[in-house]
Structure 1
């Protein structure tokens, strides 16, 4: 593996590991056994809110000033947030810096995807990148529980240290290998161009407004809107299951068994990302294969949880590689990559919330079934 890949891959592993390291210890972060459930939820959700709000504007900024600068900012902010979370026990401070950690995530991913989309082996690299992304998520949850006996925040401190090392690589000459050009790519579509380093308008706010106006054409005149909708549906359906499965399975799964099932989903996503990245299959068929696997997993979750989570992870990992590959064929700009990622976070945020409105009248099993059927509706969407 060359240095530029090692630098980017180690960064995504550390970033994702740190983001998930809080999950097993949320009650303690919220104040121990007497911690407020609302506080715990805010600490958890702060990350996703920060990422959702930051993805598009920082994607535009990546096009304006260069991908490498924005990636450096994202990892520096992530490291700072991890440091504060490690040493602070004040819930409000934890919530604020979880939000800032999410902003760091929102800075990192559009620029990272934009860089990878320009590599000659972009599909294979996307598979490898997604493999390390899921490996970080799995490692964060696993080691947070394993190391809790040595100190409740041991895993957070460990991943903060790794993020700091990645920052040093990014700030060195090694980091410059990632993006040798100063500025991001042009956002080109349907005969118009928006230059990231335009001299005509130096206002970032005005440029963001211009991007948003022009992006409506991309959303409705290309496949991008369909791709974005599929990502919302995929992550909404799987997020709905993940957010409710602990309560649903309480009568037949122990906590270690539940933890094992969740870990299997990440491992499956890692493997399927590598396979999808190297497969000689077009992005449309990769997405559809992933959707079938994920929907089958949701159907089976009421009877065979271990197999179900394996299929969900495998399907999600493959589908994401196909979706990002499809987006990169439209545009590899940081703005478009950021806009795509908002679909992921919109699904993760809205799926569980909207699903909870129907949980009372439908019950868990019917709700899971409906979400799987909704996911299969993707087959009625024509992707060219």
Structure 2
């Protein structure tokens, strides 16, 4: 395994593990005097707000200075935020640290996906990367709960140390870039953005970075290449599953215990891990992988009314498979950090906005009607045709 792949793989596990390690202990992090749903929601949302606001800017920066540099910045921000969360009990510092942690996510993922999309074994590497992504999410929740008796922040500290290990792996690569000077910068840039849509004058544009020209070409790629279809699917797919996940604790309160609910949600991460690996190694093209993921997720939402564990297995499998196909589809248009940044904003917009919007219909229509409607919306996406 080459050093860059090791950096990305170890980093995504640590970053996602740290992000989820805080969730089971949010009330305790807020403190006894501040333990309220509003404060817990602030600490929870701070991460996603930081990520959503910075995915696109950092994607552009990755095209400007190189993917590895921006991914490294994401790792550094993750380590810094983890240290502050581990050693501080001040609510404002904790809230700011969660936002900075989200910024680290916003820096890391567009650059990481751009690097992965350009490797010869890109689909397989994407599968392995997303396997570790979901493994980190599952491990964060699991170890945070298991180690809480040893200390509320024990799991947070562990994943901060793991992020520090990834930073240590980054140092030799950073030294190579510094010692090689301009030639190293050019080499890094050649691996930073092989933009299939903008070929020809790509290098000149990145060097001079003219905002008007950059936005014009981005608008052309978004509107004329079918990128908007991929972005729309990302919003609706992850929004529909996020709507279910965010409302399921209330919906299932009468027939599921907390441990049973935790088991069901954990099952979704495990299913996503396995489906990511399978999709990454599959010989099917990205269109079939995307459609398979949509069908699995839609079936999972339908099953949520009667079979919770099976439902979350299908939802996790659908999301894990679909993201491999979606990233592959984006890379066929452009593997730039800018394109990957836009793609990731679609996922975070879906996770952050669709549950809020969809929840407005629960009181007048009921949970089951809203879940059924979101499943039908997912199935309607099968009608979308890719070029």
| Unaligned ranges ≥5, structure 2 | 178-183
TM-score (norm 2): 0.93
**What is aligned with 2:54?**
54
1:4-60 C-alpha deviation (Å, 9 max, x unpaired): 322210110000000011110111122248512111111101111111111111111
Give the drift of 1:218: 1.1
Q: Does 1:246 align with 2:249?
A: yes
Distance in 2 of aligned mates of 1:196 and 1:22: 43
Distance in 2 of aligned mates of 1:196 and 1:19: 38
For 1:1-384, list aligned pairs within 5 A: 1-32=1-32, 35-173=35-173, 181-183=187-189, 184-185=192-193, 187-189=195-197, 193-195=201-203, 198-201=206-209, 207=211, 210-384=213-387
Distance in 2 of aligned mates of 1:7 and 1:166: 6
* RMSD after superposition: 2.0
Pick closer, same or farther for the CA change 1:194–1:252 going to 2, 3 Å: same
1:161-203 C-alpha deviation (Å, 9 max, x unpaired): 00001001012249969998232325452677443774445xx
TM-score (norm 1): 0.94
Distance in 2 of aligned mates of 1:133 and 1:223: 27
**What is aligned with 2:180?**
none
| Unaligned ranges ≥5, structure 1 | none
Q: Structure 1 runs of 4+ off > 6 angstroms?
A: 177-180
1:57-105 C-alpha deviation (Å, 9 max, x unpaired): 1111111111111111110000000100111112221111111100110
Give yes or no for contact 1:187–1:193 (8 Å, CA) kept in 2.
Answer: no
Distance in 1 of aligned mates of 2:199 and 2:25: 51
Give the drift of 1:227: 0.3
Secondary structure class of the residue paired with 1:252: coil
Give yes or no for contact 1:27–1:33 (8 Å, CA) kept in 2.
Answer: no
- How many residues of Structure 1 are paired with residues of Structure 2 in the alignment? 379
